[in-house]
A and B are shown apart, each in its own frame.
Chain A
Amino acid sequence: MIDHDILIIGAGLAGLRAALAAKENGVDVAVVSKVHPVRSHSNAAQGGINAALTDRGDDWRDHAYDTIKGSDFLGDQDAIEIMCKEAGTEVISMENMGAIFNRDEDGKLGTRNFGGQRQARTFFVADFTGQALLHVLYEQILKAGTRIYEEWFVLSLIVKSGKCCGAVMMDIKTGKIEVVRAKAVILATGGLGRVFEPSTNALICTGDGMSLAYRAGASLMDMEMVQYHPTTIKGSGVLLSEAARGEGAYLLNSENDRFMLKYAPEFKELASRDVVSRCEQTEIDEGRGIDGCVLLDLRHLGEKFISERLSQIRELAMDFANVDMVKEPVPVMPGMHYQMGGVKADINGETGLPGLYAAGEVACVSVHGGNRLGANSLLDTLVFGKRSGMHASDMVKAIQHTNIGDSEAKNDIENINKLLSNDIGESFGQVRMDMGKGMKTHLGVYRDQSSMEKALTLVENIKNRTGEVYVSDKTKTFNTNLLFSIELGFMAECAEAIAFSAIERKESRGAHTRTDMPNRDDANWLKHILFTKKDATHEISYKDVVITDWTPVERKY
């Protein structure tokens, strides 16, 4: 059995930031990740990170309001205040650690415009900000000498006497299973994009942490709030950053019109993402699309500008859409991208299950409410990663380990043996594809009662199939076949939470748009939906949105 004060699951931005904070606070930290830290999906974030710096004449309260409005008023305003207040410190801190942010003519940090914000406050590194920041944190972790369990897979969380006190994990290289005791566990496992098909997300984004937390007894919140990003490439689902629009790109329909001018006269292409995706979907559904897409036009920006600021997405468009954006507009469509919901966590990352924390995309604080603004996710990971690391490290100094033993791994070992002994049948790939396509169809940009009922049926069907998939690889070394089958179980549970939460919300808000209930209903639904395990099933409960200074109003862009 292995002991650590804090076990952080996930080595993306949130996980590494938490690790740094905890280590600086003098406790024994270990990070476990099913891939090498630099392979984490944080590296796919492209556009930038928001912060209101006072020396630019910006005010965190403006940033807070833009975020609250962007969330369609489902965001908890106390948490949003904290995120926006601490943003400047985090950005400067990353720069001091070595991040190569873009500069203005005076050599100070430069900004670009981004969706849903009235002022340019997005700091960026060309169009690969996520990768640049992730590598900086990885470098700092190397410097600090933090222990990383690289390519280890977490199978379950250990809960004893109502407290989370460790995890059961497998060394992917050898198949060896270990019980790890920890005084605190921080989930930083990212999102669940693979529940949908297509998605901008990497293959590793399988909702592991959300499912692990759910099975351990923590609540999932706002799971119906799934963001469709307006500019993804058809087929592959690969992301083309909002930075393109931030730097001035247009969205055109088949009639060569900048259709956003009519839907969002003030913010135009930079309205919040749910609004833009809906507008695109409307244009496509009403026959003004081209092959299921609209066009992202950057030609007027010129080759030099694109090479300096947007070179990565130019490569992506050439590789995956066969289009050089310097010469032609790129066909794009709304694609599943981000989960605003997640494991319910407070401003310090505490989930309500003692000993269990969550930060980053896996968590729902909620700072993004019904819709996340672009460039707020990188901010979320750093602010709440740090806060979770600090709070957890303070907390563990005062407590002891729980008395548990290697027998904690028994259930997981049995489950694995069961999977390995399944009859020849469906592969995990088939089940996931059915789930992904079905979830996209029934829980797309637009939903209604009938589509959501179909989603529930789909989820039931998927759940029955996940336990029976055939695992052809029976070896212990790097058995990816087995791991995918385990991930399938995580995804099915997430899909279930999404489907049940969606049908529960009887209004449209943020990314959850019901054609049969198109209006927002603040009187009845200004609250979060919680999905919690109860015996063999689940229960739905609610939590009021925290309002501080900003009264919810109708959202107009």
Chain B
Amino acid sequence: MTALVFIEHENGAIRQPSRSAIAALAKLGDVHVLLAGTDLSAAATAAASIAGVAKVLTAEDAVLADNLAEPLAALLTALAGDYSHVAAAATAAGKNALPRAAALLDAQVISDIVGVEGADTFIRPIYAGNALATVKSKDPVRVLTVRAAAFPPAEPTGGSASTEAAPAAALDAAKAAAAKSRHVSYEIHKSERPELSAARVVVSGGRGMAASENFKLLEPIADKLGAAIGASRAAVDSGFVPNDRQVGQTGTIVAPELYIAIGISGAIQHLAGMKDSKVIVAINKDEEAPIFQVADYGLVADLFKAVPELDAELAKA
């Protein structure tokens, strides 16, 4: 039994969610990984040394550089014949391409798995994580996306996989599928902070932050804790922070060691994205706010007073 895991690379490194996907599939057997795009040599070296990886396949072509679903799904489909499982992390790219590949293979994708029970049996959250379904697939090839927050990432070192180029026929299939869509532009919100989905600490602000400028109050705290800054949907919709900060059922799912929710009420959809954090802190002026029910440490306070105090207190340490 061998799984093919599509992995994402950035500046020659492998993204952490992809390493979590490798860890999930490694529970079942051998793992081959697929790298797609251009200038893959540094990423291929990095991929080959990830613990648990037996082989690195590289698909080098400009049509694959932007993870467009059409060529990527065609590539995965062309390669799938050799594998029992085709998987990727449930990132924007994974969620975009894997269900397309599944349909090309006439398989029902199993999205966002949080548990591996066996070769054909997986656990996945439904209803914003208020229920966990154990499902058994009857498809010959199981196509999966993996919730990164649910699996500790495979170690970046310790492996010594071989690397080979994907067969030309698979690359041709990808190129042929690229005629109807084209990447136009990116608007990437640059940040020196850790990636939200991979950070050890996340500090999130909600509607209670009241304005975009006030998110600056969270920065010194995030700096001191090495944290990523997240947000509720209300904070994103109000334009306080960009869309990619949204934590929740329909945003990014996080499970850091420490999650600090500031001015967030704790709607079901927000909780769905953070309730598996190890320690949860909530700061809210409304003692009835539902966020307190999941918080290990709740502080009923006005955030505009408590946040500067928290910064000062952390500075003492």
**Chain A bound to chain B:** no
Q: Which B residues lie at the A interface, using CB under 8 A? A: none
Q: Which A residues lie at the B interface, using CB under 8 A? A: none
